[in-house]
């Protein structure tokens, strides 16, 4: 009986550690980075990330902003009111310049490696 | 030349790195009630208390009121009752000694281009003595749909993104749209199509026709670092160079400011919703929260009176509180 019990515990241990590995791998695949919008500026203004990173913009201003890539095609958020968020996953290396379409003096760049 | 407010707030454009030699300037700050009148190239300014009798007593040929930046839907600490302050603006207009013939709304009618926000402003303005309202959009009015809703509600009789012209009592009014197709790093923009329309619109007019231009973003470089200017405004103003009297009315910066350049008077109106900081006086141009009892002193309406034969448009800013 004892022997069977030990095998059972071992089996549970293996499956739990297997879960941990899977979770860690998942974490690796969806790295997140945040860009804060505050005082009519993107912070950081330039962000460097690995390919596959999901970048999240969060608006901390009392005024709505719209995040849009310079080409106006790659990504474009809806109007982000205070505390609203917008995410985009960068899969291809390159430099992505973007701005706020309602306050175009606000500009930023995401460099994807 | 500078107009002094009671609070002594002055912004001197000579020190902002932009060369404006030869320009006559008259800055009137929010809530100061300053008046600037240009007659035959001579700038005269006086406090509101000193001139109110004169303007009230003179029956103008044409009187209209500009309101701006009502930001319906805004509910942050800078003003949690934009409905109440817009209603106060209407009461102010209704109490003027001479009723205005119509209103100009220079944009940011809504805060987030929501249908209910546009609807609320239209409903509140129905209680105004002046029934006719001409709107141009602000960037907040075209935020999710490139201005489709704005055009549907307010664009009747307009061209393109909502630009238009009309005549009232011999004065030619031109409403321009400078909040569309903005480019990264840029300022407000009129665009080639609108400029071409403008050139054609004024072609047949005599040089003595008084011109009033209204648009959301200032058509002069108030503070480009904060986007307070329009990149192709010089071309637009070039088409108006031959006219003896040009008045340019804008909103966007939520404070009153005036500049005279040759025969052109530039004027920005206060918001009816919340104030913004003077150029460069804060980290950014966001809403400025002031003590509740001061708020209505920084919001207002702009009353404009045209007197035929005097080649003068009198512009009076009145605060709400």
Kindly tell me if the per-residue pLDDT of B114 is higher than 70: yes
DSSP code of residue B139: G
Instruction: For the full predicted model, state whether its pTM sits above 0.90.
Output: no
Q: What are the tens digits of pLDDT across the range B136-163?
A: 999 999 998 999 999 999 999 999 999 9
Place of tokens 């509180």: B321
- Residues 27-86 of chain A with CB under 8 A from chain B are 39-41, 61-64, 66, 70, 78-79, 81-82
Q: What are the tens digits of pLDDT across the range B38-83?
A: 333 333 333 333 334 344 434 558 999 999 999 999 999 999 999 9
Longest distance between any two alpha carbons in chain A, whole Å: 74
- At A15, is the pLDDT very low, low, confident or very high (cuts 50, 70, 90)? very low
Chain A residues touching residue B186 (CB < 8 angstroms): 104-105
pLDDT of residue B32: 35
Cis before A44? omega within 30: yes
Q: Does residue A96 belong to the interface with chain B, where contact is any CB pair within 8 Å?
A: no
Say whether B227 and A104 touch across the interface (CB within 8 A). Answer: yes
Residue of chain A whose alpha carbon sits nearest to that of B287: A62
Mutation target among B69, B108, B178, B184 for the A interface, most CBs of A within 10 A:
B184
Chain B residues touching residue A105 (CB < 8 angstroms): 185-187, 224-227
What class, spelled out in words, does domain A31-112 have in CATH?
Answer: mainly beta
Phi/psi of residue B108, nearest 5 degrees: 55, 50
Phi/psi of residue A24, nearest 5 degrees: -65, -40
* Least CB–CB distance from A107: residue in B113, B184, B283: B184
Kindly tell me if the per-residue pLDDT of B256 is higher than 50: yes
| More confidently predicted of A26 and B253 | B253
Closest by Cα among A68, A45, A74 to B184 = A68
Q: What are the tens digits of pLDDT across the range B189-236?
A: 999 999 999 999 999 999 999 999 999 999 999 999 999 999 999 999
Report how many Cβ contacts below 8 Å link chain A to chain B. Answer: 59
pLDDT of residue B22: 29
Closest by Cα among B138, B162, B182, B134 to B273 = B138
Strand B211-214 to B171-175 pairing:
parallel
Say whether A40 and B286 touch across the interface (CB within 8 A). Answer: yes
Listed by start position, the domains of chain B span: 13-319
Q: Does residue B71 belong to the interface with chain A, where contact is any CB pair within 8 Å?
A: no
Q: Does residue B279 belong to the interface with chain A, where contact is any CB pair within 8 Å?
A: no
Say whether A40 and B187 touch across the interface (CB within 8 A). Answer: no
Angstroms from A44 CA to nearest CA on chain B: 16
Lowest average pLDDT, out of A18-22, A35-39, A64-68, B184-188, goes to: A18-22
In the beta sheet, which residues pair with residue B63? B305
In contact, B188 and B217? CB cutoff 8 Å: yes
| More confidently predicted of A9 and B221 | B221
Average pLDDT value for residue range A18-45: 75
Give the span between the Cα atoms of B75 and B252, in whole angstroms: 18
pLDDT of residue B7: 32
In contact, B245 and B311? CB cutoff 8 Å: yes
Say whether B139 and A70 touch across the interface (CB within 8 A). Answer: no
- At B306, is the pLDDT very low, low, confident or very high (cuts 50, 70, 90)? confident
In contact, B280 and B243? CB cutoff 8 Å: no
Q: Does residue B290 belong to the interface with chain A, where contact is any CB pair within 8 Å?
A: no
Q: Where are the beta strands (DSSP E) in B251-299?
A: 257-261, 264-268
Q: Does residue B277 belong to the interface with chain A, where contact is any CB pair within 8 Å?
A: no
Domain B13-319 has CATH 3.60.21.10: yes
Closest by Cα among B103, B109, B113, B99 to B56 = B99
Dihedral of the alpha carbons of B247, B250, B253, B255, in degrees to the nearest 10: 50
Angstroms from A53 CA to nearest CA on chain B: 24
- H or E segment to which residue B305 belongs: strand B300-307
């Amino acid at each position: 009986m004892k022997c069977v019990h030990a095998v059972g515990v071992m089996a549970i241990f293996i499956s739990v550690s297997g879960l941990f590995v899977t979770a860690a791998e998942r974490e690796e695949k969806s790295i997140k980075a945040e860009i804060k919008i505050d005082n009519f500026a993107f912070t950081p203004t330039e962000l460097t990330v690995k390919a596959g990173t999901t970048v999240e913009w969060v608006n901390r201003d009392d005024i709505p902003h719209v995040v849009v890539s310079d080409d106006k095609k790659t990504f474009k958020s809806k109007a982000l009111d205070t505390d609203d968020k917008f995410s985009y996953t960068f899969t291809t290396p390159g430099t992505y310049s973007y701005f706020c379409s309602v306050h175009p003096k606000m500009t930023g760049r995401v460099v994807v490696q | 030349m500078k107009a002094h407010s009671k609070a002594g707030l002055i912004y001197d454009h000579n020190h902002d790195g932009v060369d404006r030699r030869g320009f006559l300037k008259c800055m009137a700050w929010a809530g100061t009630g300053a008046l600037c009148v240009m007659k035959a190239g001579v700038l005269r300014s006086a406090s509101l208390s000193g001139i109110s009798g004169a303007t009230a007593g003179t029956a103008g040929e044409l009187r209209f009121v500009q309101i701006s930046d009502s930001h319906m839907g805004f509910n942050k600490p800078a003003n949690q009752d934009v409905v109440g302050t817009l209603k106060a603006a209407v009461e102010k207009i209704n109490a003027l000694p001479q009723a205005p013939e119509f209103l100009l709304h220079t944009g940011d009618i809504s805060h987030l281009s929501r249908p209910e926000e546009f609807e609320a402003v239209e409903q509140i303005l129905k209680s105004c003595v002046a029934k006719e309202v001409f709107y141009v959009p602000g960037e907040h009015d075209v935020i999710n749909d490139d201005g489709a809703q704005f055009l549907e509600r307010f664009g009747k009789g307009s061209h393109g993104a909502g630009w238009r012209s009309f005549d009232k009592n011999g004065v030619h009014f031109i409403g321009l749209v400078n909040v569309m197709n903005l480019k990264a790093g840029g300022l407000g923009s009129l665009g080639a199509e609108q400029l071409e329309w403008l050139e054609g619109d004024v072609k047949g007019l005599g040089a003595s026709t008084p011109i009033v231009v209204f648009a959301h973003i200032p058509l002069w470089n108030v503070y480009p670092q904060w986007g307070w200017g329009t990149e192709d405004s010089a071309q637009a103003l070039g088409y108006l160079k031959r006219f003896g009297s040009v008045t340019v009315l804008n909103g966007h910066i939520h404070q009153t400011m005036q500049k005279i350049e040759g025969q052109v008077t530039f004027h920005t109106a206060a918001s009816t919703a919340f104030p913004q900081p003077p150029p460069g006086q804060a980290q950014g141009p966001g809403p400025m929260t002031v003590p509740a009892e001061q708020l209505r002193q920084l919001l207002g309406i702009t009353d404009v009176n045209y007197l035929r034969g005097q080649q003068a448009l009198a512009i009076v800013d009145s605060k709400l509180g």
